[in-house]
Amino acid sequence: MKDEYLRFEEQFLSPYAKKSREAGKRDGFMEECPLRTEFQRDRDRIIHCKSFRRLKHKTQVFLSPEGDHYRTRLTHTLEVAQIARTISRSLRLNEDLTEAISLGHDLGHTPFGHSGEDTLRKITGSFEHNEQSLRVVEVLENDGAGLNLTPEVRDGILNHRRGMTPSTLEGMVVNYSDRIAYINHDIDDAVSAGLITEKALPEDCVSFLGRSKGERINSLIADVINTSYGKSYIGMSDECGKTFDKLRTYMFDNVYKNPAIQKYVKKADRMIKLLYEYYSENLAELPPRYLKDRSLKTAVCDCIADMTDRYAVKKFEEIFVPDNWDL
């Protein structure tokens, strides 16, 4: 079965696609699987790991949403994977590699969304969620053994951010899909939260990309496909790229920097600072898995970055909120 699929890849995939036979060597030995390709195995190892499950309780943008219909880091990840697979299939790239990178790209994200990342960066001077995601799959998962992924998947996870260049086209697809997903689902959530209205979006952006979330996503996907088909690179047309950047700027000015959001960001910032200070002064309170041959700064960062929103709040209350006394 696997051999048939490998032949299918050789015959059908683009000459610019990364074939499963070409997968790089893992750092550790792994018995060959008779059913799955190397990139399929990476996808499965990611989706079954603890860090992936924790994404369901990590904030995307809204720190304290009322109701269950707002995005979390997990639903964002699934939307990125869906968009990336659509683009990869249309360009005849390796869907399995694309999916594995998509599912792993945010494993290192902190609690409380990008505000948590920003706080750890300010405290330590060097913290980036993409680097932490790579650290999760190489060092932290499996009690310090890591997930032993192929170099192509690890490269895509590390280089999924805007302005970075992964070594494969599949990684570049995830790079674009991440932005397409978060801008459009953040618009959807911001409208639901009453921060903006659909009518308030820049008219030139919605007239070019579409007035609904689905129309905008379809327009962006189609543009990436049409611009990149048969090419050795992944990109957007100049007009679409400029329009998309304008929509992104609008979101930063009106949603991400909105006072209603910033109110919660400040609370999260204080909470993470206090947790960092506490664990730095009480290393014995850190779970042993974070203390294996690591600096104090790295150990505390690893611990806090792994936390879900609810676990961070729980630990904060345990440490800093007095218990009721029976007098």
Six-digit token string for 114: 């990008």
Each residue of 116-153: pLDDT tens digit? 999 999 999 999 999 999 999 999 999 889 999 999 99
Question: What pLDDT, on the 0 to 100 scale, is given for residue 85?
Answer: 98
Please tell me what DSSP assigns to residue 13: S
Six-digit token string for 244: 């998309």
Exposure string of 50-82, with b = 16+ CB inside 10 Å and e = fewer, is ebbebbebbbbbbbebeeeebbbbbbbbebbbe
> Distance from CA of residue 203 to its chain's centroid?
29
Residue (of 193, 250, 175, 176) closest to 71 by Cα position = 193
d(CA 151, CA 25): 7
Each residue of 7-45: pLDDT tens digit? 999 999 999 999 999 999 999 999 999 999 999 999 999
Q: Is the dihedral of CA 304, 307, 309, 313 positive or negative?
A: negative
Is 174's pLDDT higher than 80?
yes
Residue ranges per domain, the chain?
37-179+261-320
Residue (of 244, 48, 40) closest to 147 by Cα position = 48
What's the whole-model pTM score?
0.95
More confident residue, 207 or 70: 207
Exposure string of 241-262, with b = 16+ CB inside 10 Å and e = fewer, is bebbeebbebbeeebbebeebe
Q: How many residues does the chain have?
A: 327
- Position 266: which residue type? K
72: phi then psi, degrees, rounded to nearest 5:
-115, 175
Residue (of 167, 163, 162, 165) closest to 150 by Cα position = 167
Each residue of 280-305: pLDDT tens digit? 999 999 998 898 878 899 999 999 99
- Position 300: which residue type? V
Residue (of 183, 179, 189, 178) closest to 71 by Cα position = 189
Question: What pLDDT, on the 0 to 100 scale, is given for residue 293?
Answer: 73
> Distance from CA of residue 156 to its chain's centroid?
11
Using a 10 angstrom Cβ sphere, with 0-12 exposed, 13-18 middle and 19 or more buried, the burial of residue 94 is buried
CATH superfamily of 37-179+261-320: Hypothetical protein af1432 (1.10.3210.10)
Question: What pLDDT, on the 0 to 100 scale, is given for residue 59?
Answer: 86
Tell me the CA distances in angstroms from 279 to 125, 136, 283, one per residue in order: 18, 20, 6
Each residue of 243-293: pLDDT tens digit? 999 999 999 999 998 988 888 889 999 999 999 999 999 999 999 889 887
138 contacts 199 by C-beta, under 8 angstroms? no
Concatenating the DSSP letter of every residue in 217-286 gives HHHHHHHHHHHHTTSSS----HHHHHHHHHHHHHHIIIIIT-HHHHHHHHHHHHHHHHHHHHHHH-GGGS
Please tell me what DSSP assigns to residue 34: S
d(CA 150, CA 152): 5
d(CA 137, CA 151): 11
Is 1's pLDDT higher than 80?
no
Each residue of 184-199: pLDDT tens digit? 999 999 998 899 999 9
